[in-house]
Amino acid sequence: MADHYEAEVNEGGINMANFNRQLNNRWENGWRLARIFEQAGNTIIVWERRGSHEARERVGGRLRRS
């Protein structure tokens, strides 16, 4: 079974050009940025598989219409 979430830690500052590239590459590979936060000077990035998120949204929409 594939992971639903992945997390990574970036020590120190983020190079925005690299981060932008990573966002787009991750999106193309089926991931979305779920959360990003800072702890003790490090950036924690949490990715979520888009397919899982989209499936939840479809189910949620059907439940709301019921």
Q: Side-chain half-sphere of 59: how many Cα atoms within 13 Å?
A: 6
Chain segment 26-40, per-residue pLDDT in tens = 999 999 999 999 999
Confidence of residue 54 (pLDDT cuts 50, 70, 90): low
State the virtual CA torsion across 62, 56, 19, 40 in degrees, nearest 10: 120
Long-range Cβ pairs for the range 34-37 (8 Å, 24+): 34/5
The model carries a pTM of: 0.69
CA 18 to the chain's CA centroid: 16
